[in-house]
């Protein structure tokens, strides 16, 4: 892609609509021309590790086989300490390929990547979305939102909302303070670090009461942030919280979740 084309794309950010009329659509992972915007080319689609059942019904981690899933369809870690949400799914395994889509969305102004990620999230999360009144993104602290100019989780929620016909409440939650980067912290350190950092906005609490919420984030690792969000929503009286992420990190041999990108 030429420097000019790239800078035009960056300049337009979320407003790709006009540009799509001018430039042929590109695969967001490799820039090959594709038939329609927001689609992977055939080669990238083959490279992608889509998470398909059997996977843990709580945290979405893939199982090697139906046999290893067990009767509860939960991974050992979710059986030991169940997350505060009900069901969780992720579209992609977080690997070298899905990083090509997630990291530029998170740090590189490639807001259009939310379309392709959202499409696969809507597919993976179909059963959660059937049972959903509001999609709610994990919030960014306002200082981080100011420097990045958008919340990548909100863009994903909007993309999923458009495809599934579900309503999105982008400002249901607020992050009250900036948390230290979670990378390198143990699960319990992560939980401590985000506990109390997330609140339901008081002006949204009444509208949320009794609703079935699907929380949306880019990468699900230990679930510390999503757990804090789910806890805040349940305290505010929502009926249920499920979780839908673009990508799920794998577990290493010790059962620990591998690293996620910094927020």
Residue ranges in contact with Zn ion by CB under 5 A? 27, 29-30, 32, 41, 44, 56, 58-59, 75, 78
Residue 223 CB, shortest distance to Zn ion, in Å, is 9
Residue 105 or 168 having the CB closest to Zn ion: 105
Whole-Å CA distances, 149 to 100, 116, 145: 20, 20, 5
Cα separation, 193 vs 197, in Å, equals 8
Across the strands, what pairs with 247? 92, 219
Q: Find out whether 16 and 110 touch, Cβ atoms under 8 Å.
A: no
HEC string for 91-142: EEECCHHHHHHHHHHHHCCCCCHHHHHHHHHHHHCHHHHHCCCEEEECCCCH
Residue 30 or 195 having the CB closest to Zn ion: 30
Residue 75 or 245 having the CB closest to Zn ion: 75
Tell which residue, 131, 135, 146, has the closest CA to residue 170.
Answer: 135
Residue 8 CB, shortest distance to Zn ion, in Å, is 20
Residue 128 CB, shortest distance to Zn ion, in Å, is 15
Cα separation, 118 vs 94, in Å, equals 15
Residue 94 CB, shortest distance to Zn ion, in Å, is 15
Residue 29 or 51 having the CB closest to Zn ion: 29
Tell which residue, 22, 150, 41, has the closest CA to residue 100.
Answer: 41
Residue 41 or 246 having the CB closest to Zn ion: 41
Q: Find out whether 247 and 219 touch, Cβ atoms under 8 Å.
A: yes
Tell which residue, 173, 176, 188, has the closest CA to residue 134.
Answer: 173
Helix (H, G, I), strand (E, B) or coil at 141: coil
Residue 168 or 214 having the CB closest to Zn ion: 214
Residue 158 CB, shortest distance to Zn ion, in Å, is 23
Residue 75 or 219 having the CB closest to Zn ion: 75
Across the strands, what pairs with 55? 62
Cα separation, 148 vs 165, in Å, equals 27
């Amino acid at each position: 892609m030429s420097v000019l084309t790239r800078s035009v794309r960056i300049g337009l950010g979320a407003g790709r609509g006009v540009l799509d009329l001018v430039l042929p659509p590109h695969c967001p992972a490799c820039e090959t021309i594709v038939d329609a915007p927001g689609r992977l080319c055939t080669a990238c689609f083959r490279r992608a590790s889509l998470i398909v059942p059997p996977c843990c019904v709580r945290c979405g981690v893939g199982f090697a086989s139906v046999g290893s899933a067990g009767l509860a369809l939960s991974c050992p870690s979710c059986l030991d300490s169940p997350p505060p949400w009900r069901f969780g799914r992720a579209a992609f395994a977080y690997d070298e390929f899905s990083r090509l889509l997630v990291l530029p969305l998170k740090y590189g102004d490639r807001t259009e990547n939310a379309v392709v990620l959202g499409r696969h999230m809507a597919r993976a999360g179909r059963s959660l979305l059937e049972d959903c009144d509001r999609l709610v993104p994990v919030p960014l602290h306002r200082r981080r939102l100011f420097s990045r100019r958008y919340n990548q989780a909100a863009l994903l929620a909007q993309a999923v909302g458009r495809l599934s016909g579900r309503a999105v409440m982008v400002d249901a939650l607020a992050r009250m303070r900036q948390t230290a980067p979670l990378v390198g912290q143990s699960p319990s350190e992560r939980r401590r670090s985000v506990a109390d950092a997330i609140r339901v906005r008081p002006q949204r609490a009444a509208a949320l009461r009794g609703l079935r919420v699907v929380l949306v984030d880019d990468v699900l690792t230990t679930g510390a942030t999503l757990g804090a969000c789910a806890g805040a929503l349940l305290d505010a009286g929502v009926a249920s919280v499920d979780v839908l992420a673009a990508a799920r990190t794998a577990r290493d041999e010790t059962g620990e979740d591998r690293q996620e990108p910094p927020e």
